[in-house]
Amino acid sequence: MSVSDPTAAELLTAVNAAILALVTNKIKAYTINGVSYQYHQLPELKEMRKQLQLECRTAGNTIRLADVSEA
């Protein structure tokens, strides 16, 4: 992922990784593009994921099955 200007697809991948890491208690916080998220912020991450999925679909990007889970 490019730190300066990540694409929606790159951010979606990072958000999915953050959600997985937080719900499996592998870490206490996860940083995406300079912003740290903790377990209690899962609803915010899930909303961000929905928006990124929509943006990726609108842009015509292919969404992988792992990117549309409801975790």
Per-residue pLDDT tens for 8-46?
999 999 999 999 988 898 888 899 989 999 988 999 999
Please give the pLDDT value at position 44: 94
- Does residue 48 or residue 39 have the better pLDDT? 48
The pTM of this model reads 0.69
Asked whether the CA dihedral 30, 36, 38, 40 is positive or negative, the reply is negative
* Residue 12, CB-side half-sphere exposure with 13 Å CA sphere: 21
In angstroms, the CA 56 to CA 41 distance is 23
**What is the pLDDT, as a whole number, of residue 68?**
52
Nearest to 58 by CA among 4, 1, 12, 25: 12
Structure confidence at residue 69 (pLDDT)? 52
